[in-house]
Structure 1
Amino acid sequence: MPPAPSPMVRRRRLGAELRRLREAAGLTGDQVIARVGWASASKLSRLENGRSRPDLGDVLDLLDLYDVTGSTREDLIAVTRDAGNTRGWLRSYPVMTQRQRGYAELEAGCAEIFEYGPVILPGLLQTAEYTRVRLLSSRELIPPEDAEDPETEIAARAARQSTLSRDADAARYEAVLEEAALGPRGGPPEVMAGQLHHLSRLGELPNVTLWVLPAQAKVSDWYLPETAFSIYRFADPDDPDAVAVEALAADLILTEEAMLARYVRVFDWLREAALSPDASLAWITEAATALGPPPDVGAVPLPPSSTPPVQRRRRTQQRSS
Structure 2
Amino acid sequence: MPLSASPVVRRARLGAELRRLRHRESLTLEQVCDRLGWASTSKLSRIELGQSRPDLADVLDLLDVYQVPPGQRDGLIVIARDAATGRGWSKALGEMGERQRAYAELEAGAARIVEYQAAVVPGLLQTPEYARLRVAAGALLCDGVDVEADVRARAVRQELFGRPDPPHYTALLDERVCDPGGTPADVWHDQLRHLVALAERPQVTVRLLPRDAAPHGGVHPLTAFSYYAYPDPADPRTVLVETLTTDLRLAGPADIDRYERLIDWLLAAALPADASAELLAGLIGPAAVPRPREPRDAPLPAAH
Alignment TM-score, normalising by the size of structure 1: 0.88
Equivalent runs, 1:114-125 vs 2, <5 Å: 114-125=114-125
What letter is aligned with 1:105?
E
Percentage of matched positions with identical amino acids: 47
Q: Which moved more, 1:89-98 or 1:3-12?
A: 89-98
Contact 1:164–1:172 under 8 Å retained in 2: no
Contact 1:4–1:88 under 8 Å retained in 2: no
How many residue pairs match? The answer is 298
> Take 1:45 and 1:186, find their aligned partners in 2: how far apart are those partners?
48
What is the CA-CA distance between 1:113 and the residue it aligns to? 0.3
The question of 1:316 aligning with 2:301 is answered no
Relative to 1, partners in 2 of residues 1:313 and 1:273: Cα closer, same or farther, differing over 3 Å?
A: closer
Computed over aligned residues only, the root mean square deviation of the Cα atoms, in angstroms, reads: 1.8
Report the secondary structure of 2:173's partner residue. strand
CA shift digits 1:226-250 (9 cap, x unpaired): 0011110112222111000000011
Equivalent runs, 1:91-240 vs 2, <5 Å: 91-93=91-93, 96-144=96-144, 147-148=145-146, 150-166=147-163, 168-185=164-181, 187-240=183-236
What is the CA-CA distance between 1:93 and the residue it aligns to? 4.2
Equivalent runs, 1:10-89 vs 2, <5 Å: 10-89=10-89
Unaligned runs of 5+ in 2: 289-293
What is the CA-CA distance between 1:271 and the residue it aligns to? 1.1
Higher relative contact order, chain-length normalized (CA < 8 Å, sep 6+): 1
Report the secondary structure of 1:269's partner residue. helix
What letter is aligned with 1:108?
A
Unaligned runs of 5+ in 1: 294-311
> Take 2:296 and 2:182, find their aligned partners in 1: how far apart are those partners?
30
What is the CA-CA distance between 1:186 and the residue it aligns to? 6.1
Report the secondary structure of 2:214's partner residue. coil
Alignment partner, residue 6 of structure 2 = 6
Structure 1 runs, 4 residues or longer, greater than 6 Å off: none
The question of 1:253 aligning with 2:235 is answered no
> Take 1:90 and 1:264, find their aligned partners in 2: how far apart are those partners?
31
Relative to 1, partners in 2 of residues 1:132 and 1:195: Cα closer, same or farther, differing over 3 Å?
A: same
Report the secondary structure of 2:285's partner residue. helix
CA shift digits 1:46-103 (9 cap, x unpaired): 1100001101111111100001131211121121111111112233346533331000
Alignment partner, residue 291 of structure 2 = none
Contact 1:107–1:232 under 8 Å retained in 2: yes
> Take 2:267 and 2:25, find their aligned partners in 1: how far apart are those partners?
44
Report the secondary structure of 1:180's partner residue. helix
> Take 1:92 and 1:136, find their aligned partners in 2: how far apart are those partners?
25
